[in-house]
Structure 1
Amino acid sequence: MTHDDILRDARDAFERASAHEAEIREEARDDLRFARLGEQWPEKVRRDRELDGRPCLTINRLPAFIRQVVNDARLNKPAIACHPVDDGADPQTAEIFNGLIRHIEQSSDAEVAYDTALDFAVTCGFGYFRINTRYARDDSFEQDIVIERVADPFSVYGDPDSTAADSSDWNTAFVVDSLPRAAFEARWKGAEAVDWSGSGHEGAAGAWGDGERVTVAEFWRREAVRRKIVALSDGQVIELSAYEAQKGLFDALGVSIVGAPREVASHRVVQHVVTGAEVLETVEWAGRFIPIVPVFGEELRIDGRRRLRSLVRDAKDPQRMFNYWRTTTTELVALAPKAPFIGRKGAFETDAEKWATANVQTHAYLEYDGPEPPMRQPFAGVPAGALQEALNASDDMKAIMGLHDASLGARSNETSGRAIMARQREGDVSTFHYIDNLSRAIRHAGRILIDLIPKVYAAPRVVRVLGPSGEAKLAAVNQPVAVREADAAGQVREVQRIYDLGVGKYDLTVRAGPSFTSRREEAATQMIQLIQAYPAAAPVIGDLLARNLDWPGADEIAQRLSSLLPAQVRGEAPELGEARAAIEKLSQALAGANQKLEAMAKDQALETRKLEIAAFEAETQRMRVLGPGGPAR
């Protein structure tokens, strides 16, 4: 396919995508500006009020509702768990997959990508994050997988023919970006700086207004292809290309192809970086999915077209009413005339200047004429009707979004803890579909990672993997490695294993729950309650309780408590338990012998001391008998 053909296909696909999303994007921009930028007054109304010198207040309550949903998801992080599916998959290799995915998420700040996408989904109806590859080091050809955030969701255009909720069926996609002209010329030397443009998207000049930027687009396309697979002598079924790439390893293991290759249906993904004039780059993507993942808000299909709605879409009118009635209240109170003084004619002739300024200045005294003092008219009071309408608008916002005072941390009518938690749970349930959509997107991201990992980490190498609690270790993949394992009889022996990431089929699940730190604290609390209810469990689970406590020396305490448990409870091999028991018995015998030696030494020292005392007493008696002058006569 020539560059002209690619550009023609890209323009046609972009026109269809932008036309399909035009209404969605217009509504999403209005939601974003309304909820986050506070542009909540119609421009004509604002201008007229400002010209008349009247107040135009914006008391934006929507960000608090948005943060409630987004931060609830931050407290309950979705986690990807990989599981073996067929007999070619290995549970221990699945743990390598899990640890590698955790490492990818940590090293690339995937939490930022997830949170940003969900924030946009709640605010304007959709957000995105993407999966990419980059070189592990500047002096290496090894690549790592990264998860990147999409800071501008309006830069992504999905497949208009997609029906899946997680973009797994996307066949086209665009990512439009604007670069400084100097950066463009440095990266693509000699390329013509012509903006990529199309209906529904503003070019560099329209977006920035200085003409010093160039707009480029990533055109992603997925096509159906046929791939060849082969059956191996050890029962595995892999792609022919994967076998050829690792033929040396299979030959060393004595594994060969059995039978003839077979063709199967698959997909090929290609990325083209284009401008309005030419194709700058063409990259063959290793995976079979377009690596851009949407996080949708509330999804509807009407007349065959997808509609995406945000949390604040239906709450904009109550927010406008709230602004209007609070502004009206402020205006009525601030601009109400001062209550005047009323008196008979001539009562204000004395101190006339003070009486004229009595409503705006404070005077120590005021003199009046006549027998009766002037009287001030009573204040009309705060406009109760306008305040009530503002309260009604506030309640309407809460009812529409399903988040009431208890969910926002404010005092409500509920008094008992159970009632407050029940109302909070109602708020969580009413907005749970946003968090569930994030879990759905992360599930597809995990599917992309499982498909991509065997191809990016195909060569023998050592990778860093993370455990559930964040502990890091190194694992050798796609190469023989010696490990110590216990067989069915409990004997520990050294065996050769290969954690081959390209062999077997793996599936995944996503579970949303508290982070490991909070789960560990919750586990410690539950264990303490169990020990209080059943004290006999303390010797058995004492080491587990200490390991979940967060204080200095907790691991050492756990190790000491664990050493007191029987070998069967610790999960040790019987031989190791017997050896440990023999060592403990010898240690006890040695301690007893040392005590006996110490006792014997003490007894010998006592006898020596007795002899010394006896000799001293004999010498004393002899000298007493002799006296000062010698023996008695």
Structure 2
Amino acid sequence: MSDEDILEEAREAFQLAADAEAENRREALDDLRFARLGEQWPERVRRERDLEGRPCLTINRLPAFIRQVVNDARQNKPAIAVHPVDSAGDPETAEVFNGLIRHIEQCSDAEVAYDTALDFAVTCGLGYFRINTRWAPNDTFNQDLAVERVANPFSIYGDPDSTAADSSDWNTAFVVDSLPRAAFEARWKGADAVDWAGDRDGGAVSAGREAADRVAVAEFWRRERVTRTILALSDGQVVEEEAYAAQKAMFDALGVTVVGRPREVGSHRVTQRILSGAQVLETVDWAGRFIPIVPVYGEELMIDGRRRLRSLVRDAKDPQRMFNYWRTTSTELVALAPKAPFIGRKGAFETDAEKWATANVQSHAYIEYDGPEPPMRQGFAGVPAGALQEAMNASDDMKSIMGLYDASLGARSNETSGRAIMARQREGDTSTFHYIDNLTRAIRHAGRILLDLIPKVYGTARVVRVLGPDGTAQSVGVGQGVGGGQGGQTGAGPLKAVARIYDLSAGTYDLTVRSGPSFTSRREEAATQMVELIRAYPAAAPLLGDLLARNLDWPGADEIAQRLGALLPPQLKGASPEAQQAQAQMARLGQALAAAKAEIAALKQDRAHEARKLEIEAFEAETNRMRAMQARS
């Protein structure tokens, strides 16, 4: 396709996406400005009140509700767990996948991307994060994967025909952004600095005076269905026909042949193009089979064939406006109420007239008056109870609409027992759990994208760092065809210092996402439960002391654990369950052997006694014979 054909196709696809998302984007932008920027008064009402000199107070309570949901998700981090599926999958290789994904997430600050996407989903109904490749450090040609945040969700335009909740069926996507004109000219030398025709309402394209200094570009992602031919080889491998043809000489030398008939399988090819308004600036053949942009949706509805996305604050905007109005009204009534005046007969205020004139605004030690009777002060009209009650009603309306009550927000309520408070908090978590669950779905799809990309990005022979659940780092060797799915011995090159290498392209793997406290929180909870167990069963203390010390966040906890571990019985020191079982079996065999030796010794002793008895009987018989011969003579 020529550049003109590509631009024409991209413009049509972009227009369809923009039309499909117009209502969602308009409502989302209004939610964002309302909840986070505090633009909660209608512009006409604000102008009228400003002209009249009347106040427009904004007491924004919505960010507290948003933080309640987002921070709850931050305390329960979703974690990707990879599992082998077929016989070629290896549990140890699955652990390498897990450790490598943890390394990717840590190095790219993936938790920032997840939290930002969820924050936008709760605030305005949609948020995004993306997966990208980066050049590895140390001036190499290796690449690493990274999870990146999308700071402006209005720069993303998804597939208007998508029905999946995690973008797994996206066939088109756009990322519209603007960059300084100098940066554009430095990156694409000689290219025409023509803006891509984007939606200015979302802020992706600069407008006004800044437009002349910036150029809008668009990433156009396109996924197409393709077919490929695979072959089954005599050594059990399954390779693509093109790969076999390119390495046929090697397979022939190894005596590997094709068995069975070729098979056609379906797959997808993803292409990324960077477009300006006039030309195609870059074209990249993406390694994976998914568009690496992941949405985190808020509340999702399908109405009239279109997806409607709603935020947590969408239905709470009217109660928030009512709250602002009634608090402003009560403040205005109190502020504009006349000061309590002094009443007295004519001429009573001639003495100290200046002090009487400032009695409502200044404090005087004394004020003199004329006449026999002192002036009397009129009472204050009082706080407008009706306006304050309406403000409280509006506050309760906000809580009931969002399902977050006083106990969920940490405020005191009618509940007195801990169980009742926890039950009310659980109700609040349940009413907003679909936002956290949508984040879990998004991270699950991100895991599929990573699982699809890792064998291709980390396919060359190299040493990578993997992380354990507790954050401990370990270096392992990876590479395609250098050891098989079950691992193998290394040779020369970058893997010479690694005892085992893993072929990440061998076997099939699937994943799950677990949501729960972080490893540190689980460790603290484990230590608490161990303490309770030792209190209930003190005899377990000598056996659990080293494990308890290792889970406590103390300076020198590891040294304490080592010292307590030295006090364990020999059969429990550093022994795995299998080793402990083997040791117990050896002990039983040793006892049986000792019993057998004792029995043999007893038998030998019995035989010795029998032989001695026979000797004595023979000696007695000889003595008797000699006595008989002597008597005859």
- TM-score under structure 1 length normalisation: 0.85
Match of 2:335 in 1: 334
Displacement of 1:344 after TM fit?
Answer: 3.4
| 1:528 and 2:531 correspond | yes
Q: Are the aligned partners of 2:488 and 2:502 in contact in 1 as well (CA < 8 Å)?
A: no
Cα distance in 1 for residues equivalent to 2:319 and 2:556:
55
Match of 1:60 in 2: 60
Listed as ranges, the matches of 1:211-360 within 5 Å are 211-240=212-241, 257-360=258-361
| Unaligned residue ranges in structure 2 (runs of 5+) | 491-497, 588-633
Give the match's secondary structure for 1:170. Answer: coil
Match of 1:43 in 2: 43
Listed as ranges, the matches of 1:399-414 within 5 Å are 399-414=400-415
Q: Given the superposition, is the C-alpha separation of residues 189 and 425 from structure 1 closer, same or farther in structure 2, using an over 3 Å criterion?
A: same
Mean alpha-carbon deviation: is it higher for 226-235 or for 279-288?
Answer: 226-235
**CA displacement, residues 580-609 of structure 1 (integer Å, 9 cap, x when unaligned):** 99xxxxxxxxxxxxxxxxxxxxxxxxxxxx
Give the match's secondary structure for 1:211. Answer: helix
| 1:499 and 2:502 correspond | yes
| 1:126 and 2:132 correspond | no
Q: Are the aligned partners of 1:68 and 1:408 in contact in 2 as well (CA < 8 Å)?
A: yes
**CA displacement, residues 460-485 of structure 1 (integer Å, 9 cap, x when unaligned):** 2211111111111111123236679x
**CA displacement, residues 400-429 of structure 1 (integer Å, 9 cap, x when unaligned):** 111111111111221211111111111111
Displacement of 1:355 after TM fit?
Answer: 3.5
Q: Are the aligned partners of 1:216 and 1:274 in contact in 2 as well (CA < 8 Å)?
A: yes
Q: Are the aligned partners of 2:232 and 2:262 in contact in 1 as well (CA < 8 Å)?
A: yes
Cα distance in 2 for residues equivalent to 1:348 and 1:160:
79
The code of the aligned residue for 1:467 comes to: G
Q: Are the aligned partners of 1:236 and 1:504 in contact in 2 as well (CA < 8 Å)?
A: no
Q: Are the aligned partners of 1:299 and 1:309 in contact in 2 as well (CA < 8 Å)?
A: yes
Mean alpha-carbon deviation: is it higher for 346-355 or for 511-520?
Answer: 346-355
Cα distance in 2 for residues equivalent to 1:251 and 1:470:
46
Cα distance in 2 for residues equivalent to 1:397 and 1:334:
27
Cα distance in 2 for residues equivalent to 1:456 and 1:319:
50
Give the match's secondary structure for 1:424. Answer: helix
Match of 1:600 in 2: none
Cα distance in 2 for residues equivalent to 1:566 and 1:428:
48
**CA displacement, residues 318-365 of structure 1 (integer Å, 9 cap, x when unaligned):** 111111111111111111111222233444444444434433344444
Q: Are the aligned partners of 2:196 and 2:275 in contact in 1 as well (CA < 8 Å)?
A: yes
Displacement of 1:441 after TM fit?
Answer: 0.2
Cα distance in 2 for residues equivalent to 1:255 and 1:523:
53
Cα distance in 1 for residues equivalent to 2:418 and 2:45:
45
Give the match's secondary structure for 2:207. Answer: helix
Displacement of 1:394 after TM fit?
Answer: 1.1
Give the % identical residues. Answer: 78
Give the match's secondary structure for 1:165. Answer: coil
The code of the aligned residue for 2:74 comes to: R
Match of 1:194 in 2: 194
Displacement of 1:121 after TM fit?
Answer: 0.5
The code of the aligned residue for 1:510 comes to: V
Cα distance in 2 for residues equivalent to 1:502 and 1:301:
39
Q: Given the superposition, is the C-alpha separation of residues 246 and 79 from structure 1 closer, same or farther in structure 2, using an over 3 Å criterion?
A: farther
Displacement of 1:249 after TM fit?
Answer: 9.8
Match of 2:12 in 1: 12
Mean alpha-carbon deviation: is it higher for 48-57 or for 230-239?
Answer: 230-239
Listed as ranges, the matches of 1:29-40 within 5 Å are 29-40=29-40
Cα distance in 1 for residues equivalent to 2:204 and 2:107:
34
Match of 1:75 in 2: 75
Displacement of 1:561 after TM fit?
Answer: 4.3
Displacement of 1:5 after TM fit?
Answer: 1.0
| Unaligned residue ranges in structure 1 (runs of 5+) | 485-494, 582-633
Q: Given the superposition, is the C-alpha separation of residues 511 and 3 from structure 1 closer, same or farther in structure 2, using an over 3 Å criterion?
A: same
Cα distance in 1 for residues equivalent to 2:358 and 2:517:
65
The code of the aligned residue for 1:453 comes to: I
Mean alpha-carbon deviation: is it higher for 340-349 or for 391-400?
Answer: 340-349
Match of 1:381 in 2: 382
Q: Given the superposition, is the C-alpha separation of residues 560 and 366 from structure 1 closer, same or farther in structure 2, using an over 3 Å criterion?
A: closer
Listed as ranges, the matches of 1:86-105 within 5 Å are 86-105=86-105
Mean alpha-carbon deviation: is it higher for 232-241 or for 506-515?
Answer: 232-241
Q: Are the aligned partners of 1:218 and 1:274 in contact in 2 as well (CA < 8 Å)?
A: yes
Q: Are the aligned partners of 2:199 and 2:205 in contact in 1 as well (CA < 8 Å)?
A: no
Give the match's secondary structure for 1:412. Answer: coil
Q: Given the superposition, is the C-alpha separation of residues 310 and 532 from structure 1 closer, same or farther in structure 2, using an over 3 Å criterion?
A: same
| 1:570 and 2:576 correspond | yes
Displacement of 1:139 after TM fit?
Answer: 2.4
Q: Are the aligned partners of 1:197 and 1:203 in contact in 2 as well (CA < 8 Å)?
A: no
Match of 1:447 in 2: 448
The code of the aligned residue for 1:82 comes to: V
Match of 2:173 in 1: 173
Displacement of 1:244 after TM fit?
Answer: 7.2
The code of the aligned residue for 2:46 comes to: R
Match of 1:548 in 2: 551
Match of 2:458 in 1: 457
The code of the aligned residue for 2:103 comes to: H
Q: Given the superposition, is the C-alpha separation of residues 253 and 465 from structure 1 closer, same or farther in structure 2, using an over 3 Å criterion?
A: farther
Q: Are the aligned partners of 1:218 and 1:271 in contact in 2 as well (CA < 8 Å)?
A: yes
Q: Are the aligned partners of 1:196 and 1:203 in contact in 2 as well (CA < 8 Å)?
A: no
Listed as ranges, the matches of 1:504-515 within 5 Å are 504-515=507-518
Cα distance in 1 for residues equivalent to 2:478 and 2:371:
106
Q: Given the superposition, is the C-alpha separation of residues 122 and 321 from structure 1 closer, same or farther in structure 2, using an over 3 Å criterion?
A: same
Displacement of 1:378 after TM fit?
Answer: 0.7
Cα distance in 1 for residues equivalent to 2:553 and 2:184:
51
Displacement of 1:288 after TM fit?
Answer: 0.3
Q: Given the superposition, is the C-alpha separation of residues 248 and 123 from structure 1 closer, same or farther in structure 2, using an over 3 Å criterion?
A: farther
Match of 1:85 in 2: 85
Displacement of 1:233 after TM fit?
Answer: 3.3
Displacement of 1:571 after TM fit?
Answer: 3.9
Mean alpha-carbon deviation: is it higher for 452-461 or for 368-377?
Answer: 368-377
Cα distance in 2 for residues equivalent to 1:374 and 1:212:
71
**CA displacement, residues 138-173 of structure 1 (integer Å, 9 cap, x when unaligned):** 622111111100010000000000000000000000
Cα distance in 2 for residues equivalent to 1:244 and 1:18:
45
Q: Are the aligned partners of 2:176 and 2:205 in contact in 1 as well (CA < 8 Å)?
A: no
The code of the aligned residue for 2:325 comes to: Y
Q: Are the aligned partners of 2:154 and 2:204 in contact in 1 as well (CA < 8 Å)?
A: no
Q: Given the superposition, is the C-alpha separation of residues 161 and 54 from structure 1 closer, same or farther in structure 2, using an over 3 Å criterion?
A: same
How many residues are aligned here? Answer: 570
Displacement of 1:248 after TM fit?
Answer: 10
**CA displacement, residues 531-564 of structure 1 (integer Å, 9 cap, x when unaligned):** 2222333343333222212223332343454453
Cα distance in 1 for residues equivalent to 2:245 and 2:525:
50
Q: Are the aligned partners of 2:24 and 2:309 in contact in 1 as well (CA < 8 Å)?
A: yes
Cα distance in 1 for residues equivalent to 2:502 and 2:248:
16
Q: Are the aligned partners of 1:22 and 1:200 in contact in 2 as well (CA < 8 Å)?
A: no
Give the match's secondary structure for 1:209. Answer: helix
Q: Are the aligned partners of 1:238 and 1:503 in contact in 2 as well (CA < 8 Å)?
A: no
Match of 1:21 in 2: 21
Cα distance in 1 for residues equivalent to 2:421 and 2:254:
63
| 1:517 and 2:520 correspond | yes
Q: Are the aligned partners of 2:200 and 2:207 in contact in 1 as well (CA < 8 Å)?
A: no
Q: Given the superposition, is the C-alpha separation of residues 207 and 547 from structure 1 closer, same or farther in structure 2, using an over 3 Å criterion?
A: farther
Displacement of 1:106 after TM fit?
Answer: 0.6
Mean alpha-carbon deviation: is it higher for 384-393 or for 9-18?
Answer: 384-393
Cα distance in 2 for residues equivalent to 1:511 and 1:373:
78
